[in-house]
Amino acid sequence: VISLLPPLPLCLPPLSLAAPTTSYQQGSRHTCTSSWSHRHRRLQMPTMEALKQIQDECLADDVALPPDATDWTEEEARAYFESGGAVRPREVATSGSVAEDYRMVRWAVDTATWDPTDAEWKTLLDTLPEEDSTRVMKFHFRDDQKRAIVSRLLQRSACAGFLSCSHSDVTIHRTKGRKPYLANGHDGLDGACGEAATRRLEEAPNWNFNVSHEGNYVILASEPSMLCGVDVAAPGQLRRQRNQGLEDLFDVMKDNFTAREWAQVRAAGPSEKSMEMIFRKLWSLKEAFTKARGDGLGFPFKRCEFTLGGSHPLATARIGALACGAGTDQYGGTGVQTASVAVDGVIQPEWKFYIQPLADDHWVSVARGPPSDAVDAHGGFKSTFKKPNLSPAEIRQGHDAAEPPFVCKRIADLVSEQVAAKLSASY
């Protein structure tokens, strides 16, 4: 029997005779097809509640919500759920710029190609707090000054973007171990960032970030709930002494690696280049781990033993984003490589690590771990956590998020529109 009735839509509107009682229920939000006037309207508060209601309407409780879901339009969310998760919303957007997801940032700036004019340099210094600009200028060499100022610009830009407030309203403090953190995110409705900050912290209760610089790059990564640590490793940077051979380097560093780690390094031989690559990866992982915790150099590197894992695809980059990654590295690896850690011989399953290549033979390691492992002698960093003790399910959710690729940023991307206009005028 051939039915003459039209097929039912996949997303079924709720059967209710009650009048709408919330802003989310107004207009066409209970139908599968949004009107043109609502097509690009952003989901209203509370965003996660709105998304879950659309998910229920689409009978898509088996489809996971990506980290950037709360930035979607209604049309984007419905397209995602109707496809069973096969069509990501950013792929159906046809106009306008893609909104940045400041909860899970992966940014990189190539300082080697940046040669600021005196006017540009002064403009950028003037955007920083006096203490920061003074610290920048204490460096003797210009390359070190560039890395220092870009690091601070990255931090303030990421924090301002996350809180949806101006750069000048951001307050950044450091732990005793020198881990930077956003200090004024919990000021509430009366704070400089107001309601927007309160909303973002509901979506990313333990938002934190970490920065690193070496070689050509300054990088920043952030996580919404897990501890975040990051380290960039440049070729040859560990061989500071002129004419130092690889074996000489290994001898100097021998007490920082375990026997199993040295076995991984030697297994990459006999090529010195391959052995140095494994060595740099392991060293970078140790840096990322201790920086995520917050104790930095206070944690003996030999206590943490890393095992390199397999390779997995990177998360899809946003439309229009310029990925800094090399794609396929010169040793045949693609995507992101994983790693695991044991501390004092005990495997730490709540920690995950991700390694990806940048251009010019640079490597980046990102660490994700439980916030309960944070080391914070003064308590300021831990006080910013809304969920200091995540459940096993929440930790799994934090690790289930695909590792994003690092995106290249220009200096003008890291400042306000007004400052960017001044920079443009100074060229």
DSSP-assigned letters across all residues of 362-408: EEEEEEEE-GGG---SSSTTGGG-S-SS--HHHHHHHHHSPPPPPEE
Average pLDDT for residues 380-396, to the nearest whole number? 95
Question: How does residue 328 score in pLDDT terms, banded at 50, 70 and 90?
Answer: very low
Average pLDDT, the chain: 80
Both 393 and 270 in one domain: the answer is yes
Q: What is the pTM of this model?
A: 0.74
pLDDT score, position 245: 87
Both 130 and 274 in one domain: the answer is yes
pLDDT score, position 54: 85
More confident residue, 7 or 292: 292
- Can you read off the two tokens belonging to residue 176? 């005793």
pLDDT tens figures, 192-212: 566 666 777 888 999 999 999
Both 137 and 40 in one domain: the answer is no
Specify the residue for token string 């303030």: 156
Of 39, 69, 99, the one marking the end of a domain is 99
Question: How does residue 76 score in pLDDT terms, banded at 50, 70 and 90?
Answer: confident
- Helices 118-127, 417-426: axis angle to 10 degrees equals 160
CATH number of the domain bearing residue 348? 3.90.470.20
Both 131 and 37 in one domain: the answer is no
- Model confidence at 405: pLDDT above 70: yes
- Model confidence at 154: pLDDT above 50: yes
Tally of domains in the chain = 2
- Can you read off the two tokens belonging to residue 36? 């043109």
Question: How does residue 225 score in pLDDT terms, banded at 50, 70 and 90?
Answer: very high
Both 9 and 80 in one domain: the answer is yes
pLDDT score, position 72: 67
Question: How does residue 263 score in pLDDT terms, banded at 50, 70 and 90?
Answer: very high
Both 42 and 7 in one domain: the answer is yes
Q: Is the four-CA dihedral 254, 257, 262, 264 of positive or negative sign?
A: negative
Both 22 and 136 in one domain: the answer is no
Average pLDDT for residues 217-223, to the nearest whole number? 98
- Model confidence at 130: pLDDT above 80: yes
Residue 426 belongs to what domain range? 104-427
Of 78, 99, 120, the one marking the end of a domain is 99
Of 99, 119, 153, the one marking the end of a domain is 99
Q: Which amino acid is at 358?
A: L
Percent of the chain having pLDDT more than 70?
73
Both 108 and 95 in one domain: the answer is no
- Model confidence at 357: pLDDT above 60: yes
- Model confidence at 187: pLDDT above 80: no
pLDDT score, position 191: 55
Question: How does residue 238 score in pLDDT terms, banded at 50, 70 and 90?
Answer: low
Residue 250: partners with Cβ closer than 8 Å, 6 or more residues away: 262, 265, 279
- Can you read off the two tokens belonging to residue 154? 């990255």
Q: Picking from 145-149, 186-190, 278-282, 361-365, which range would have the lowest pLDDT averaged per residue?
A: 186-190
Both 174 and 41 in one domain: the answer is no
Both 143 and 156 in one domain: the answer is yes
Average pLDDT for residues 186-192, to the nearest whole number? 55
Residue 57 CA, distance from chain mean position: 31
Q: Do the strands 304-312 and 227-233 form a parallel or antiparallel pair, or are they unpaired?
A: unpaired
pLDDT score, position 20: 35
- Model confidence at 220: pLDDT above 80: yes
- What residue spans of 164-323 are helical by DSSP H? 194-203, 246-252, 259-267, 272-293
Average pLDDT for residues 329-349, to the nearest whole number? 80
Both 91 and 108 in one domain: the answer is no
Q: Which residue in 383, 407, 412 sits closest to 123, CA to CA?
A: 412
Question: How does residue 66 score in pLDDT terms, banded at 50, 70 and 90?
Answer: low
Both 336 and 419 in one domain: the answer is yes
Q: Which amino acid is at 89?
A: P
Q: Which amino acid is at 266?
A: R
- Model confidence at 309: pLDDT above 50: yes
Residues 326/359, Cβ–Cβ less than 8 Å = yes
